[in-house]
Amino acid sequence: MIEFRSISKRFDDGTLAVDDFSLVIPSRRITVLVGSSGSGKTTLLRMINRMVDATTGALEIDGENVSTIEPVQLRRRIGYVMQNSGLLPHRRVIDNIATVPRLNGVPKKQAHERALELMDTVGLDRELAERYPAQLSGGQQQRVGVARGLAVDPNILLMDEPFGAVDPIVRADLQQELLRLQRELDKTVVFVTHDIDEAFLLGHQVVILEKGGRIAQKGTPAEILANPASDFVASFVGADRGKRALSIQTIDGAQVLVDGDGNLAGRLVEAGPA
């Protein structure tokens, strides 16, 4: 469990990026921070591994205040995946994945074996192991980034718009892969995005942020969609524009659902016992 308690962050230049933010991030769940540019998502995420230190307030991981943990040690036990993969361009794929275990002193051979296993885990062909990042497609690079994030088998995985720079088809693929990985590996994932569809797809808990890290609403996707807390949220999730509104039409005696654009979304059936 990660707990933000009345966290504020003022940068040296005076920008108040986060203003009195409190949130509990449950373990073994995907929590998505979603909000427009500049709302403080990255700043919040980076406080968890102390890339950014809070100005005031306390941040605890499983009851331990992060300010008491040495930053480099802390970062080595938390996975971090960012946009454009953040891979080291001068290291081959296998060495990139093995980076953190190697920093922790794991022997090279062992670290490489584990890296190859991780390539299987994230759906990468082992043949790519000897390539440099520049020789991979954007989607493959992101997979390597995820594999690197998982290399030390961390409890926590931080992801900052990890799929923001890949095309929609690859993104959909990677999203499904992440859901599968989370189910199988049971990680606590904190995921940052500005795409509300991605947030609803991935998040067990979705936190909608306004400027200054102010929480506009948090809850499950269903809760938020069913009951937007404000006009801001309604507009952000697209409820106001009817984007989320589905209407029932009866065709040949069957009830089908049609979305705001008149496109077929599905067929209405009786919800049976799960």
Partner 1 sequence: MTWVLNNLGLILELTLEHIRLSILPIVLGFLIAIPLGWVAYRYRLTRGLILTLVGLLYTIPSLALFVILPPLLGIGFLSEANVIIALTIYAVAIMARSVADALASVDPDVRQAATAVGYSSWGRFWGVDFPLAGPVLLAGLRVVAVSTVSLLTVGIVVGVQSLGYLFTNGYERGILASVLTGVVMTVLVALLFDRVLVLLGRLLMPWTRTRTAPLAKGAAA
Ligand X SMILES: Nc1ncnc2c1ncn2[C@@H]1O[C@H](COP(=O)(O)OP(=O)(O)OP(=O)(O)O)[C@@H](O)[C@H]1O
| CA–CA distance, 196 with 201 (Å, rounded to integer) | 8
9 touching partner 1, by CB under 8 A: no
Nearer to Mg ion, 18 or 239 (CB): 18
Q: How far is the CB of 18 from ligand X (least distance, A)?
A: 7
Task: Measure CA 206 to chain center.
Answer: 10
Residue of 42, 49, 142, 205 interacting with ligand X (CB under 6 A): 42
Query: What region does 262 belong to: left with phi over 0, alpha with psi -120 to 50, or beta?
Result: left
User: Which of Mg ion, ligand X, partner 1, none has residue 40 at its interface (CB below 5 to 8 Å by kind)?
Assistant: ligand X
- Binding mask of the shown chain, residues 65 to 84, with x at each position contacting partner 1 by CB under 8 A: -------xx-xx---x-x-x
Report 1-30 residues binding ligand X (CB under 6 A).
Answer: 11, 13, 15, 17
41 touching ligand X, by CB under 6 A: yes
User: Which of ligand X, partner 1, Mg ion, none has residue 87 at its interface (CB below 5 to 8 Å by kind)?
Assistant: partner 1
Residue of 2, 21, 23, 40 interacting with ligand X (CB under 6 A): 40
Q: Which residues pair with 61 in a beta bridge?
A: 2, 64
Residue of 88, 226, 251, 264 interacting with partner 1 (CB under 8 A): 88
Report 166-205 residues binding ligand X (CB under 6 A).
Answer: 194
Question: Which residues in this chain contact ligand X in the complex, by CB under 6 A?
Answer: 11, 13, 15, 17, 35, 37-43, 194
Question: Which residues in this chain contact Mg ion in the complex, by CB under 5 A?
Answer: 42
